[in-house]
């Protein structure tokens, strides 16, 4: 369904918590279809649930979308011809159409108390079968409203017949009206519930396609009823798959989310940057949890996705969150960056760790780190030694395998003498002479290089040795080797 007509799509989250992967993917699918067709991507804040409103949630949401590169054409911050873009600022619209539903006989004022509703649930009876106000004469209804009796407005669901809702991924879904109930549309405080607000907003904003995950399928028939009762043309409905826990067993719960965070993983977009993930990688990973282009292409940049995305290739089957795949894509996208871009993205991680890094040095380091990084935050552990005045290797790490401290000290001294006599220390000038030295001493190359590596970097594992020494500089490298020799003599 790769429509050529410009679409109008919306991402309409509720600011009731942190922005997670599921929301990010829904926003992404909307964005891709809008950009592909030359249409409009709209951000609308559905904030009618004031009891669950979380301060700061809207700001985190916008920051997350900006980080992913999903810029909207209309929204609460940028305006547009169909505003306002917060539901709490659109109350008059909902009242108008709620009244239209009442006037047409498709909705009614209900004066049942909350305790009566609870009793109905306990008896497993539908409200429409119990409510004494469903067919109340208009004069009696007006009298109670004038008297100040609290009320809600409910949709008057037909008791017989069927309703057919058409999902672009699943086809027609037919439901018996007898299984549905009279849902509240407007609460006693005058604010609409989601079901009325979303239908009114989508119609007034001329939304052509609605993406929402399959967990909304149970309310799908109600929304179709509302469109029909209001006499409006429905948008194209698309219900992508839900996300499952990494083990594939059920949806993510708050407990699962907390456990992931304790293990250093997160489903929240706001955490992804801090964990060292690239937005390009997160986009690549998210889009493939529910969509595929073919059976072998996996690397996508945003322009590729805008060109290739299609509704027909969405998969309605649930997708398990696979963090190993995220790591895989992150590594691919890190290696796709140019040196300057990678250096710019690494800098904040060094600054956060209190390391006084500079971009010139990071540009030199970037190529040797690039092939080894899975996440950007690993760069600090792997490369902090480049910026330190001195390193403090553990004495036991300086002793090569199957060698004593005295033998390791001798090997370090021979390496120092060789390197000190070179005009410069680079991969080209130093590696072959050092290999020859190991052969002359009757030790393995790995033993000699390992001693020098720990001496120069303070680490058992590091980027390539001679490239690192070249970046650190000849004099500083020799000072570090000399210090290691003294340490080895001290324990020999």
Q: What DSSP line would sit under 67-84, residue for residue?
A: HHT---SBBTTTB-TT--
List pLDDT tens digits, range 331-343.
Answer: 999 999 999 999 9
The domain that holds 458 is classified in CATH as 1.10.10.350
Looking at the domain assignment, is residue 185 inside a domain? yes
Q: What is the pLDDT of residue 156?
A: 97
Average the pLDDT over each of 73-87, 112-126, 260-274 and give the range with the smallest value.
112-126
Looking at residue 192, the DSSP 8-state letter turns out to be B
Q: Judge if 95 and 222 occupy the same domain.
A: yes
| Owner of token pair 């052509």 | 208
pLDDT of 1 over the 50 cut: no
* CA dist., res. 47 & res. 14, Å (int): 6
Residues 465, 378 share a domain: no
pLDDT in tens, 370-403: 999 999 999 999 999 999 999 999 999 999 999 9
The answer as to whether 477 is a domain residue is yes
184-186, strands of its sheet edge to edge: 107-110, 152-155, 184-186
CATH number of the domain bearing residue 345: 1.10.8
In a domain, residue 367? The reply is yes
Q: Report the range of poorest mean pLDDT among 39-53, 112-126, 221-235, 417-431.
A: 112-126
Model confidence, pTM: 0.91
Name the domain boundary from 204, 238, 272: 238
Burial class (CB in 10 A: 0-12, 13-18, 19+), 180: buried
Contact 63, 23 (CB under 8 A): no
Q: pLDDT confidence of 253, banded at 50, 70, 90?
A: low
CATH code of residue 231: 3.40.50.620
Our count of domains for the chain comes to 3
On whether residue 289 sits in a domain, the answer given is no
Residues 6+ apart with CB under 8 A from 439: none
Of 387, 422, 457, which closes a domain?
A: 387
pLDDT at 122 (0 to 100): 52
| Residue of 436, 420, 413, 398 lying closest to 469 (CA atoms) | 420
Alpha carbons 436 and 416: distance in angstroms, whole number? 14
Average pLDDT, the chain: 94
Asked if the structure places residue 13 within a domain, the reply is no
Chosen domain end from 387, 406, 426: 387
Q: Which of 51, 122, 249, 254 is catalytic?
A: 254
Neighbours of 247 (CB within 10 A): 9
Does residue 3 sit within a domain? no
Q: What is the DSSP string of 319-337?
A: EE--HHHHHHHHHHHHHTS
Do both 361 and 448 map to the same domain?
A: no
Residue 354: give the domain boundaries: 339-387
Helices (H), 207-278: 220-230, 254-262, 269-272
pLDDT at 2 over 80: no
224 and 357 together in one domain: no
* Alpha carbons within 13 A on the beta-carbon side of 176: 3
> How much is the pLDDT for 393?
96
One domain, residues 416 and 447: yes
Report d(CA 354, CA 342) in Å as an integer.
19
Expressed in angstroms, the distance from the first to the final Cα of the chain is 74
CA angle 250, 253, 259 (to 5 degrees): 110
Specify if 280 maps to a domain: no
Among residues 409, 422, 490, the alpha carbon closest in space to that of 455 is found at 409
Residue 263 has pLDDT above 90, yes or no: no
Average pLDDT rounded to a whole number, residues 193-218: 96
Backbone torsions φ then ψ of 65, nearest 5 degrees: -65, -40
DSSP secondary structure letter of residue 210: E
**Percent over 70 (pLDDT), the chain:** 97
- Are residue 480 and residue 354 in the same domain, yes or no? no
Which pair of tokens denotes residue 421? 């006599």
Domain identity same for 118 and 218: yes
Within a domain: 408: yes
Check if 254 is active-site.
yes
Does one domain contain both 434 and 354?
A: no
Question: Is pLDDT of 327 > 80?
Answer: yes
Q: Identify the pLDDT of residue 262.
A: 79
423 and 461 in a single domain? The answer is yes
- Mark whether 110 and 228 lie in a shared domain: yes
DSSP annotation string for 116-145: HHHHHHHTT--HHHH-TTTT--HHHHHHHH
Q: Are residues 346 and 429 in the same domain?
A: no
Give the pLDDT band of residue 100 (cuts 50, 70, 90).
Answer: very high
104 and 219 part of one domain: yes
What pLDDT digit, counting tens, does each position of 141-185 carry? Answer: 999 999 999 999 999 999 999 999 999 999 999 999 999 999 999
């Amino acid at each position: 369904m790769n429509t050529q007509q410009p679409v109008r799509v919306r991402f309409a989250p509720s600011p009731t918590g942190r922005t997670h992967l599921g929301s990010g993917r829904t926003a992404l699918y909307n964005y891709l279809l809008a950009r592909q067709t030359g249409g409009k991507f709209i951000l609308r804040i559905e904030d009618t649930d004031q009891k669950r409103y979380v301060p700061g949630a809207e700001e985190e949401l916008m920051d997350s979308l900006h980080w992913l590169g999903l810029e909207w054409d209309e929204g609460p911050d940028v305006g547009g011809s169909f505003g306002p873009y917060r539901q709490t600022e659109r109350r008059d619209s909902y009242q108008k159409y709620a009244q239209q539903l009442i006037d047409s006989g498709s909705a009614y004022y209900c004066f049942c108390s909350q305790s009566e509703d609870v009793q109905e649930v306990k008896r497993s009876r539908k409200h429409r079968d119990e409510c004494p106000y469903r067919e109340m004469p208009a004069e009696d209804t007006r009298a109670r409203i004038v008297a100040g009796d609290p009320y809600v407005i409910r949709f008057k669901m037909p008791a017989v017949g069927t309703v057919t809702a058409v999902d672009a991924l699943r086809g027609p879904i037919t439901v018996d009206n007898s299984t549905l109930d009279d849902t509240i549309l407007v609460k006693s405080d005058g604010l609409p519930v989601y079901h009325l607000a979303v239908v009114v907003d989508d119609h007034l904003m001329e939304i052509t396609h609605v993406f929402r995950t399959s967990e909304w399928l149970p309310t799908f028939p109600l929304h179709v009823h509302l469109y029909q009762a209001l006499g409006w043309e429905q948008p194209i409905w698309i219900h992508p798959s839900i996300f499952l826990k990494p083990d594939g067993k059920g949806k993510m719960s708050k407990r699962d989310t907390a456990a992931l965070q304790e293990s250093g993983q997160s489903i929240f977009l706001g955490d992804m940057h801090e964990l060292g993930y690239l937005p390009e990688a997160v986009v690549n990973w998210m889009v493939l949890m529910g969509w595929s282009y073919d059976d072998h292409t996996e690397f996508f940049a945003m322009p590729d996705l805008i060109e290739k995305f299609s509704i027909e290739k969405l998969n309605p089957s649930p997708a398990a969150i696979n963090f190993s795949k995220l790591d895989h894509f992150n590594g691919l996208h890190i290696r796709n960056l140019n040196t300057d871009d990678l250096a710019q993205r690494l800098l904040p991680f060094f600054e956060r760790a209190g390391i006084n890094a500079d971009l010139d040095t990071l540009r030199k380091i970037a190529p040797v780190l690039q092939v080894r990084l899975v996440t950007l935050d690993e760069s600090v552990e792997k490369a902090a030694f480049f910026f330190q005045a001195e390193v403090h290797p553990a004495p036991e790490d300086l002793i090569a395998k199957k060698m004593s401290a005295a033998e390791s000290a001798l090997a370090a001294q021979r390496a120092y003498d060789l390197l000190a006599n070179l005009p410069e220390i680079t991969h080209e000038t130093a590696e072959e002479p050092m290999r020859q030295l190991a052969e002359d001493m009757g030790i393995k190359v790995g033993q000699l290089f390992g001693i020098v590596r720990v001496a120069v970097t303070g680490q058992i594992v590091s980027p390539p040795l001679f490239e690192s020494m070249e970046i650190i500089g000849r004099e500083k490298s020799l000072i570090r080797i000399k210090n290691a020799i003294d340490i080895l003599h001290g324990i020999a």
